[in-house]
Structure 1
């Protein structure tokens, strides 16, 4: 792929779930010089289908035109054909799609490129199911996690679909048989959340943390279930102090090695999904931290040129309107969580935030050092343990599907299961005269 494109493309409609969806079409010249037509189902920034009605309806046509323009722009680039090796083809295809997918998604795809090295010597047009099966088997034998293998396979599968569309392959070699019988079963690791004592300890450490961005950022994750990028993307205008509510409306994405034309590696973007835009009530500790930090931030803003309205300044950011980065926030938390307990009291190097000689690391219920994202896991686990219904927890977490909340968190809390059984036991035992030696 990577084409000489004719014009700016056109729009069409196709039936979709009882309605219609917008389809983009473009004429392009392939590597052999032949003109072809390529079509793509258009999606919005969240990956959702852009739907419309039949006939002459122009509903959502503006969004469709914007998506079409972004897609056509991504099609213009270096030509790569079915004669290229699979690894190179996949890499170029990901880079060509920038503009139609989030840069954070593209960065994640490129992180999988080392896994494609065994296919580097296989031409894309000649890739066969036996090659894919051997590649999957090699990843499994190398001890790659099931989720990693499945994601790499999905990337190859969707790349092959596009290659078939433009004539670079005759058929997609990532068959349903391979998906059913060769891919390792997906496994969900239990969340490494803090237990009750761990929550108390972390709150105490945050109370005395010297860095206010660490204190407020970690509290947003632990007390509001916010992702690291969402913490960095929160603006003061999103904090309703009177109503006691935080409005989660954006996130800061990290392009990693994919720098934009302006050289920036981070950027503001919408939530992870439509469900990611949510309102989260504040706890007293979080509200107090935000109030104190707001006073300090507003004072600094007033001492500056006030070029950006204060409501548009980022909570963890700076008076000039710039944001704090998710990577920096993660590093601050990692220093505190690791404890640096192996360093001696005589070590003359500068101590990181939260480091104390002899202090043990912050570990979770799975015995691992707690990551920043584990604070978000803790928020959900505590909600479930407190008896909150799964639908409400899902909404607070910004999950697109409550089933994810149910599968990950509702099954992980033994105390919650015991309480649920204790409540149901009288109803289940009704009418029985049996007496057990031990029961709930």
Structure 2
């Protein structure tokens, strides 16, 4: 153990650097000391060289001493940490290898059960983090060896890839949560991801389809996709909930669909519109799922469903489905399958359906979520809805809370209580409205 030079079989130097060989904690270490060999090198290190060589040997020895001191201090700190943990917990610190991080994460408690797709995506993120550490910090094998510098390096690498703020924040939240929950068990004093700020979100909201666009989409859907799209149009259900809809959630007699939403876990109660009811009544019950082919595709090849819907939009000549984003090189989708949900909510609220009924259908727990992310009326629809609901004095138009036909029927019922002059005047006014 000590200073060494690297030589070839002819005893010539293979490297211009001094090397050190030492043992710490029962493990042998051989490292480049970063000190260049100078002067005339003697045949054997037991011999003295010239002044330049001996000066470089002295610098290498000092560097070696510094490494040994640092290794000893690290060993002592780990020993004290181990003792403190054992005193407090009555058990040894669990050394968690980075290769086992995914398995440890999988058994952590959660508020809601993870879907198979969520688990797959999160484990992929953990694997990406591990591969980054292996490539850039190969000496770090354990969770307890991850430092703040490594955590910051990983997040910078993610940011430099041009991912959106949402993707960046998901990865940060995942790793921060893992180290927060597993860190104490692994003997970590501090969470290396704590305090790293999230990126500001630049949310691009999905836009609703028009009635004409909905009709075109249905016309150009293939047989597997069409009933799923029709279900989304009539129920505002998410794609996964539509594909996994079961017959025991459908009450044809009562005219309702009752499902527990996969994303929020909230129970949604949705009336069956006649067009959807007619569609469901003609489907065979060959599976527990209403749409067995779509369910299988969603489970095994979800991208196949995305491709089919994009093709339907293209065939229907619906444009402006994506827009540029400021925070990433990737474009944002503003008209896709999820826009069917936005369309339903926008149409319902614009037509005056009470917010509480909309929330019962969509399964949202708060009004803020509905208004912020889903209520996107166009200018004309927004203007018409306000002019219909607001008083004439504010809008300059006629308030249309009652149809002329209904007003005429009510007037006829009250004919004996109205003077002949007033009756004729009101009938004339209603007739003008009906002719307009």
Unaligned segments of structure 1, at least 5 residues: 1-29, 39-78, 251-270, 302-311, 342-358, 431-440
CA contact (8 A) 1:160 1:172 kept: yes
Which residue of 167, 175, 179 corresponds with 1:160?
179
CA contact (8 A) 2:86 2:93 kept: no
**Within the alignment, does 1:272 sit opposite 2:272 as a pair?**
no
Aligned equivalents of 2:317, 2:239: Cα separation in 1: 20
Q: Which residue of 2 aligns with 1:353?
A: none
Query: How many residues are treated as equivalent by the alignment?
Result: 294
CA contact (8 A) 2:250 2:256 kept: yes
Q: Which residue of 2 aligns with 1:235?
A: 246
Tell me the secondary structure at the aligned position of residue 374 of structure 2: helix
Which residue of 357, 362, 366 corresponds with 1:397?
362
- Displacement of 1:80 in angstroms is 11
- Displacement of 1:151 in angstroms is 0.7
Tell me the secondary structure at the aligned position of residue 384 of structure 1: helix
Which residue of 198, 209, 216 corresponds with 2:213?
198
CA distance change for structure 1 residues 152 and 332 in 2, over 3 Å: closer, same or farther?
Answer: closer
**Within the alignment, does 1:313 sit opposite 2:288 as a pair?**
yes
CA contact (8 A) 2:169 2:198 kept: yes
Aligned equivalents of 1:414, 1:218: Cα separation in 2: 26
- TM-score normalized by the length of structure 2: 0.56
Aligned equivalents of 1:82, 1:151: Cα separation in 2: 26
Q: How does 1:49-64 map to 2 (within 5 A)?
A: none
Tell me the secondary structure at the aligned position of residue 292 of structure 2: coil
**Within the alignment, does 1:334 sit opposite 2:332 as a pair?**
no
- Displacement of 1:242 in angstroms is 2.5
CA distance change for structure 1 residues 405 and 90 in 2, over 3 Å: closer, same or farther?
Answer: farther
- Displacement of 1:155 in angstroms is 0.6
CA distance change for structure 1 residues 154 and 90 in 2, over 3 Å: closer, same or farther?
Answer: farther
Aligned equivalents of 2:188, 2:257: Cα separation in 1: 49
CA distance change for structure 1 residues 336 and 170 in 2, over 3 Å: closer, same or farther?
Answer: closer
CA contact (8 A) 1:390 1:406 kept: no
CA contact (8 A) 1:136 1:183 kept: no
- Displacement of 1:421 in angstroms is 5.4
- Displacement of 1:363 in angstroms is 4.5
- Displacement of 1:315 in angstroms is 1.1
- Displacement of 1:371 in angstroms is 3.6
**Within the alignment, does 1:283 sit opposite 2:273 as a pair?**
yes
- Displacement of 1:281 in angstroms is 0.9
CA contact (8 A) 1:385 1:413 kept: no
Which residue of 198, 203, 211 corresponds with 1:183?
198
Aligned equivalents of 1:192, 1:420: Cα separation in 2: 18
CA contact (8 A) 1:225 1:375 kept: yes
- TM-score normalized by the length of structure 1: 0.56
Tell me the secondary structure at the aligned position of residue 223 of structure 1: helix
Aligned equivalents of 1:124, 1:134: Cα separation in 2: 16
